[in-house]
C-alpha cells in the first residue's frame, strides 16, 4: 500500500511539473509573438473603432479609424476626415487588443506621398497642420499643387475661395517631416 501512495505522489509531482513547463512555454511563446506585433498591425485591428491620436504638437485628433496605410492613417470625424502621418503621432488611445497583420506589397508602396498626390489631383481644400520648433502647431489652408519625394507645395488661399491664381495668397513648400496632420474642409473625403 505504501508503494502505491509513493508512485501516485511521484506521478502527481511529474504531472505538476509538466503543467508548469507547459504554462511557462505558453507564456514565453506569447511574449515572443507579442514582440513581433507592430503598431500598424494594432491600428489595422482597430479599423472601424473610434480612437484618439495625440500628435507631437500636443494636439489630440479623434475619429473613427477608416484606413491605415504604410505611412499614414485616416480618421473620420463627422463630415470631415483627418490624414495623420504615423511619424506625427505621439500616442494612440482606444486601440483594442485586436491585431490585423501586414498589408499587400502594393499597399505598402502607397505611402504618404501617394495620398498627397491624390489630394492634389482632386484639388481638395485642406487645413494643413504644421509642427513648429516649440512643439506648437500652425495651420495653413489651401490646395496641394505639387508633391515631391519628401515635400509638397501648398497654394495658400483666402478661406472659402476656389483654387484660382488670383485667390492664391502664397505658395508654401512643406517638408513631410513638418506635417502634423491634414483635415478635409467642406465635407470632402480623402
pLDDT in tens, 103-148: 666 555 678 999 999 999 998 899 999 987 665 678 899 999 999 9
Whether the per-residue pLDDT at 72 is higher than 90: the answer is yes
78: left (phi over 0), alpha (psi -120 to 50) or beta: left
What secondary structure letter does DSSP report for 36?
T
Report how far residue 103's alpha carbon sits from residue 41's, in angstroms, rounded to the nearest whole number.
Answer: 9
Average the pLDDT over 60-68 and give the result. Answer: 95
- The single residue listed with the C-alpha cell 479599423 is 47
DSSP state of 176: G
What pLDDT shows up at residue 22? 72
| Over residues 172-176, mean pLDDT | 95
Cβ(58)–Cβ(47) below 8 Å: no
Report the mean per-residue pLDDT for the chain: 84
pTM beyond 0.85, yes or no: no
Percentage, residues of the chain above pLDDT 70: 83
3-state SS assignment for residue 24: helix
Query: Which residues on adjacent β-strands are paired with residue 130?
Result: 138, 179
Q: What local confidence, expressed as pLDDT, does residue 12 receive?
A: 81
Residue 35 has pLDDT above 70, yes or no: no
CB burial readout 114-126, b (16+ within 10 A) else e: ebbeebbeeebbb
Residue 168 has pLDDT above 70, yes or no: yes
pLDDT band at 165 (very low <50, low <70, confident <90, very high): confident
Query: Among 42, 60, 30, which residue's Cα sits nearest to residue 96?
Result: 42
Q: Tens of pLDDT along 77-106?
A: 988 999 999 999 999 999 988 888 776 665
Amino acid at each position: 500500500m505504501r508503494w502505491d501512495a509513493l508512485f501516485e505522489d511521484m506521478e502527481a509531482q511529474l504531472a505538476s511539473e509538466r503543467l508548469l513547463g507547459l504554462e511557462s512555454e505558453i507564456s514565453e511563446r506569447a511574449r515572443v509573438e507579442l514582440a513581433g506585433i507592430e503598431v500598424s498591425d494594432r491600428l489595422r485591428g482597430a479599423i472601424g473603432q473610434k480612437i484618439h491620436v495625440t500628435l507631437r504638437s500636443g494636439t489630440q485628433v479623434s475619429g473613427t479609424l477608416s484606413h491605415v496605410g504604410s505611412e499614414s492613417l485616416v480618421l473620420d470625424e463627422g463630415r470631415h476626415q483627418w490624414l495623420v502621418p504615423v511619424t506625427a503621432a505621439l500616442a494612440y488611445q482606444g486601440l483594442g487588443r485586436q491585431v490585423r497583420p501586414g498589408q499587400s506589397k502594393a499597399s505598402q508602396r502607397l505611402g504618404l506621398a501617394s495620398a498627397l498626390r491624390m489630394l492634389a489631383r482632386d484639388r481638395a481644400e485642406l487645413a494643413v497642420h504644421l509642427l513648429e520648433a516649440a512643439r506648437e502647431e500652425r495651420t495653413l489652408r489651401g490646395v496641394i499643387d505639387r508633391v515631391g519625394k519628401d515635400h509638397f507645395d501648398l497654394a495658400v488661399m483666402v478661406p472659402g475661395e476656389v483654387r484660382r491664381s488670383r485667390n492664391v495668397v502664397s505658395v508654401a513648400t512643406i517638408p513631410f517631416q513638418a506635417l502634423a496632420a491634414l483635415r478635409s474642409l467642406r465635407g470632402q473625403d480623402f
